[in-house]
Structure 1
Amino acid sequence: MLPTWLTEEYLQPRLRAYCKDEQLRILKIWSKAATGKGENFVGIMTRIHVDFQLGDGSVQNRTFIVKQALPTDVPQAEVFFEYDLYTREMDMYEFVLPKMKELLEEAGLEGKLTADAIAVDREHSTMILEDLAPYKYVNADRVKLLDLAHTKLTLEMLAKFHAASIILKQRHPELLTKCFSTHFFSRDKKAYSEVYLGMFRAFLKFINGHPNLKKSYADKLEKLRTHIMEYGARVYDVADGELQTLNHGDCWTTNIMFQYDNEGIPRTVVAIDFQFSNCTSPAIDLHYFFTTSLREEVQNKEPELVEHHYNALRANLEKFSYKGLFPSLQEYKLQFERRRFMSLLAHLFKPVMIYNGSEETSDFSSLYKETTEGLRFQKSVYESEVVLRSATKLLEILDSKGLLDLQ
């Protein structure tokens, strides 16, 4: 359904400004839901179709994505408002991303970074964005996960994003307002501790249901349980001398879209959904992406992938003639290693991200609350051989590095 305020009169001046055509006239608007049930917990997405006539008399039909904040009476909305998610994404689309695009073009770094914003409306907590579907951008299969070609392309996109943000912070620090220092584990916020502790409880149930995992890890994980929010906060802390960038903050398969050539090989990639963008180590984006989105054989190439991102980031900064702080490869790998606990925290979301079963939910709280629906959904998402294999390998790595012991 179209919001009642989204009329021809509302959209026409905004579309005129975007198309740079003062004679443009909207003829008709209609809509369809842009995502299926359970695909987007954070907002309401609608695809609108617009027929309009340009100043030269030609008629066009284009589609746009309308992204609205959840109504305040939806239970999870409270969580998202506490963390400034809607303000932050509107700031990203209105101020930060256009400036980053400008900086990248200035440095000769071509290619689309994300969808353009046609309008950012703070009164209605709504954005109208370019629809990427007509450009043949599509999501890769979140269940099958990403192969090496998709992964390297995504790392190159992140390296462009991270490089542009370093230059942005130097030249326009005022754009990175207070909300960009907020993240899931911010010590002055509360709501996400219920989310993570609830998801960790579901993870512990899963561990206790597998005798080998229970024997090896249950006691350690139980002791860790009350510390995960503080350990998460430490992962986001950036020490003097460490690299800091603006991160995408939620880089996984559904928030990345690819264009393919005729052979089905991915050629270009863009990011979408910037509610969780924040200033921290770029290693956070890497751990989150590697844990949630890569096939097992690609995850095994982790050292090569970290190096691939590092080299692309350094090459991009050279195009800006950047003279600031930049680590050696060895130091960058250490900065990545210092944040490995992030892989456990990201893994708590993985079962639902790759879930392909019949148990549906459109309620975010089903991921972490012990309601009847929540417990049923959590049990269902953990009934997966892929999750079992993935968790077993992850815990083995973390345990070998002493990261399951109290710090």
Structure 2
Amino acid sequence: MLPTWLTEEYLQPRLRAYYKDDGLKVLKIWAKPATGKGENFVGIMTRIHVDYQLGDGSEQKKSFIVKQALPEDVPQAKVFFEYDLYTREMDMYEFVLPKLKELLAEAGLVGKLTADAIAVDRQYSTMILEDLAPYKYVNADRVKMLDLAHTKLTVEMLAKFHAAAIILKQRHPELLTKCFSTHFFSRDKKAYTEVYLGIFKVFLKFINGHPNLKQSYGAKLEKLWPHIMEYGARVYDVAEGELQTLNHGDCWTTNIMFQYDEAGIPQTVVAIDFQFSNCTSPANDLHYFFTTSLREEVRNKEPELVEHHYNTLKANLERFSYQGMFPSLQEYQLQFERRRFMSLMAHLFKPFMIYNGSEETSDFSSLYKETPEGLRFQKSVYESEVVLRSATKLLAILDSKGLLDLQ
């Protein structure tokens, strides 16, 4: 359904400004939902089709993505409003991403970073974005997760984004307003505490349902449970001398899109969905991405992927003639290691991200609340060999590093 205010009269001046054509006339608009059920808990996405005539008389048909904030009466909306998610994403598309695009072009780092914003409307908490489908950008399979070729491309894209953002922070610090210091574990916010404590409890129930895992980790995880928000917050704290930049903040399979060649090999990648972007260590983006989106055999290549990100980031910054502080590889590896708790926090969402069963939900709270629908959904999501293998491996790593003990 089109919002009632999204009319030809509304869209015409915005398309004129975007295409720099004062003679452009919008002839017709119609719409389809842009995502399937359960694919987007944070906003409403609609694909609109627009017929318009250019100033020179020629006619065009194009599609755009309209992304709206959830209505305030939707239960999870209050969580997203408290964390400035909508303001933040509008700031990203209106101010930050266009500036990053400009900086990358200046350094000769070509290629698309994301979809352009045609219009950002704060009155309606709405963005009208370029539709990437006509450029043949598609999502990879979130259930199968990513192979090495997809992973390396994404790591390179993140290194490009992180490098441009380091320069942005130097030259235009005013663009990174206070909402960019907010994250899931912000100590002055409350709503995500319920989400994380709830979802950790679901994870604990799953661990306790497997005798071997319960014996090895059950008691430790029980003790850890009350402290996870503080440990999560520490992951985002950046010490003096550590690398800090703007992160994507939610980099996983569904928020990245690829273009492929005839042989089905991914050639380019773009990022979408920037409502969780925040200023912290780039290592957080890597932990989150590696944990949620990589196939097992690729996950095993973590040390070389961290090194690949480091080398690409360094090379990109050299193209900007960057003069600021930059860590040695060993220092960067330590900064990555210091944030390993992030992999546990990201893993709490992984079963839902790679779920392929028939139990559906469109309610975000079903991920963590003990309602009949929630309990059914959680049980179904955790009945997965992949999740069991992934959790077993992750807990062994975290335990061997002492991260399941109280800090």
Provide the rounded CA distance (Å) in 1 between the counterparts of 2:10 and 2:245: 36
Residue 342 (1) aligns with residue 332 (2): no
SS of equivalent to 1:250: coil
Provide the rounded CA distance (Å) in 1 between the counterparts of 2:198 and 2:124: 32
Any residues of structure 2 matched to 1:358-377 within 5 Å, and which? 358-377=358-377
Equivalent residue, structure 1, for 2:193 = 193
Equivalent residue, structure 2, for 1:135 = 135
1:2 shift after superposition: 0.4
Give structure 1 regions of 4+ aligned residues with deviation exceeding 6 angstroms: none
Any residues of structure 2 matched to 1:242-391 within 5 Å, and which? 242-391=242-391
Equivalent residue, structure 2, for 1:22 = 22
1:193 shift after superposition: 0.5
Provide the rounded CA distance (Å) in 2 between the counterparts of 1:227 and 1:26: 55
Residue 122 (1) aligns with residue 155 (2): no
Provide the rounded CA distance (Å) in 2 between the counterparts of 1:139 and 1:88: 23
Residue 224 (1) aligns with residue 220 (2): no
- TM-score normalised according to structure 1 size: 1.00
SS of equivalent to 1:306: helix
Provide the rounded CA distance (Å) in 2 between the counterparts of 1:54 and 1:157: 34
1:12 shift after superposition: 0.3
Aligned residues with identical type, % of pairs: 88
Equivalent residue, structure 1, for 2:203 = 203
- Alignment-mate amino acid for residue 318 of structure 1: E
Equivalent residue, structure 2, for 1:90 = 90
Provide the rounded CA distance (Å) in 2 between the counterparts of 1:352 and 1:15: 38
Provide the rounded CA distance (Å) in 2 between the counterparts of 1:314 and 1:123: 40
Provide the rounded CA distance (Å) in 2 between the counterparts of 1:359 and 1:259: 31
Structure 1: segments with no counterpart, 5+ residues: none
Provide the rounded CA distance (Å) in 1 between the counterparts of 2:21 and 2:203: 54
- Alignment-mate amino acid for residue 98 of structure 2: P
Provide the rounded CA distance (Å) in 1 between the counterparts of 2:199 and 2:375: 11
1:57 shift after superposition: 1.2
Equivalent residue, structure 1, for 2:31 = 31
Q: After superposition, what is the alpha-carbon deviation per residue over 1:232-282, rounded to whole angstroms, capped at 9, x for unaligned?
A: 000000000000010000000000000000110000000000000000000
SS of equivalent to 2:165: helix
Count of residues in Structure 1 that have an aligned counterpart in Structure 2 = 407
- Alignment-mate amino acid for residue 82 of structure 2: E
- Alignment-mate amino acid for residue 341 of structure 2: F
Residue 42 (1) aligns with residue 45 (2): no
Equivalent residue, structure 1, for 2:174 = 174
1:55 shift after superposition: 1.2
Provide the rounded CA distance (Å) in 2 between the counterparts of 1:150 and 1:238: 29
Provide the rounded CA distance (Å) in 1 between the counterparts of 2:188 and 2:370: 25
Equivalent residue, structure 2, for 1:234 = 234
Equivalent residue, structure 1, for 2:102 = 102
1:100 shift after superposition: 0.4
**CA RMSD, 1 decimal:** 0.4
1:123 shift after superposition: 0.2
SS of equivalent to 2:5: coil
Equivalent residue, structure 2, for 1:59 = 59
- Alignment-mate amino acid for residue 298 of structure 2: V
1:20 shift after superposition: 1.1
